[in-house]
Amino acid sequence: MADSNLLNAADFKAEALRLGAAEAGVAAADTLAAEWPYLQAYLSAGAQGDMAYMSRSPETRCQPGQLLPGVRTVAVCAFSYFPRPDLYAYHPRIARFAQGEDYHRVIRRFLKRMAAYVRQRHPDARCRGFVDTALILEKAWAVRAGLGRIGRNDLLQSPRLGSYLFLGLLLTDVPADTYDRPTADTAALPEHCLHCSACVDACPTGALSLEGAPRLRADRCLAYATIEMPPDGNGRKAFPPLRPQAAGAPPLAIFGCDRCQAVCPANRPGAFPTAVPTPHPAFVPAPGLAALSQADFARLDDTALRERFARSPLRRAGADGLKANLTLWD
């Protein structure tokens, strides 16, 4: 007979899929001891760049009990934004993740509903949701919850979804009746990476490493530079130097960067054991987006950006930031 004090993992996952997740897994909330050396190597290499918040209390990021006292379960839900040019028109200069609604909004709403679901069954439950925050090692938890492995491009590679996915985590102090098994040690590359270096070769800035830690230097990554880096007083950004040998890959984006995903064999339509992933409806390209030209972006001011992209992640860069990014269009 089912123990009513335990979270029924199968029912939880079924509810997550019903509410829009493409995959879900449930991990025991142990300390991430195996991941600590990688995090230390990442921080001591200075790979976090200007994101100083990442180096504050790094131990906390490996101890889920610091984020939710008494936590027993980390549920990980994945949402697809797999680009389907056969279904939708995409803008070639905006990273695929940013062409629909801001995933933070969508996944926060989802996590609230999942927390309500848990509390309906366990009224004293404490829950805390995370979506893309530096406080928690989301990809490591996804590996522990059986969703995939972390590739050479530092992205979670799911056998069913590829790497075009977002993650939402729900921590709760309710223990689950069963936990998923980790697919691998978080340091172990997927098999398809072992004889491949396409992402490293295609990276325009040399942000990815072929071997060792850190896999990705955020301080050299155009995704960071185009989204988080503010322009200087002259409206320019100090982008990391571009490598001429990486030319020939997809064109550079002005918001985010898709090169290390676009070239990855794990995202080719033939790579999937069943169907090619279909993106969550919130993450399909916004109407009219694909037609925006360089001149349209050059004309944007903050008011127009707020109005035109009210629900879009593009707002995060600000109008001045987007205009500074236009130098990458050439």
Return d(Cα 121, Cα 130) in angstroms, integer.
21
Report the SS3 class of residue 66: helix
d(CA 269, CA 276): 6
Q: Is the dihedral of CA 143, 162, 225, 131 positive or negative?
A: negative
Q: Judged by CB under 6 A, which stretch of 23-31, 80-88, 191-199, 290-298 contacts ligand SF4?
A: 191-199
**Least distance from C-beta 69 to ligand SF4, angstroms?**
36
Q: Which of 132, 185, 232, 296 is catalytic?
A: 132
Q: Check residue 252 for interaction with ligand SF4 (CB under 6 A).
A: no
202 vs 177: CA distance, rounded Å: 44
259 binds ligand SF4 (CB under 6 A): yes
Q: Is the peptide bond before 83 cis (omega within 30 degrees of 0)?
A: no
| Exposure b/e, 218-234, CB count within 10 A at least 16 = b | bbbbbbbbbbebebeee
Interface residue with ligand SF4, options 26, 75, 196, 324 (CB under 6 A):
196
**Segments of the chain assigned E as strands:** 23-28, 73-80, 127-130, 149-150, 156-157, 165-172
Stretch that binds ligand SF4, among 40-48, 66-74, 114-122, 257-265 (CB under 6 A): 257-265
Assess 265 for contact with ligand SF4 (CB under 6 A): yes
Least Cα distance to 85 among 156, 7, 12, 164 occurs for 164
91-150 residues in contact with ligand SF4 (CB under 6 A) are: none
User: Measured from the CB of residue 202, what is the shortest distance to ligand SF4 in angstroms?
Assistant: 6
Task: Identify whether 132 is a catalytic site residue.
Answer: yes
Question: How is residue 224 written in tokens?
Answer: 């960071």
Question: What residue spans of 93-209 are helical by DSSP H?
Answer: 103-121, 138-144, 198-202
Among 122, 139, 152, 215, binds ligand SF4 (CB under 6 A): 152
Total residues at interface with ligand SF4 (CB under 6 A): 25
Using rule CB under 6 A, residue 257 touches ligand SF4: yes
205 binds ligand SF4 (CB under 6 A): yes
Among 16, 29, 74, 198, interactor with ligand SF4 by CB under 6 A: 198
Under the binding rule (CB under 6 A), the answer on residue 203 touching ligand SF4 is yes
Helices (H), the chain: 9-18, 36-44, 58-62, 64-67, 103-121, 138-144, 198-202, 222-227, 259-262, 294-299, 302-308, 318-325
Please report how close the Cβ of residue 217 comes to ligand SF4 at its closest, in angstroms: 8
> Among residues 73 and 267, whose Cβ is nearest to ligand SF4?
267
Give the contact letters, 2-41, x = binds to ligand SF4 (CB under 6 A), - = no: ----------------------------------------
- By CB under 6 A, residue 263 contacts ligand SF4: yes
Count the neighbouring beta carbons within 10 Å of the beta carbon of residue 66.
15
- Cα gap 253→326, rounded to integer Å: 9
Q: Is 193 in the site for ligand SF4 (CB under 6 A)?
A: yes
Q: Is 260 in the site for ligand SF4 (CB under 6 A)?
A: yes
Give catalytic residues, as residue numbers. Answer: 132
Contacts with ligand SF4, residue ranges (CB under 6 A): 151-153, 192-193, 196-199, 203-205, 207-208, 216, 221-223, 257, 259-260, 263-266
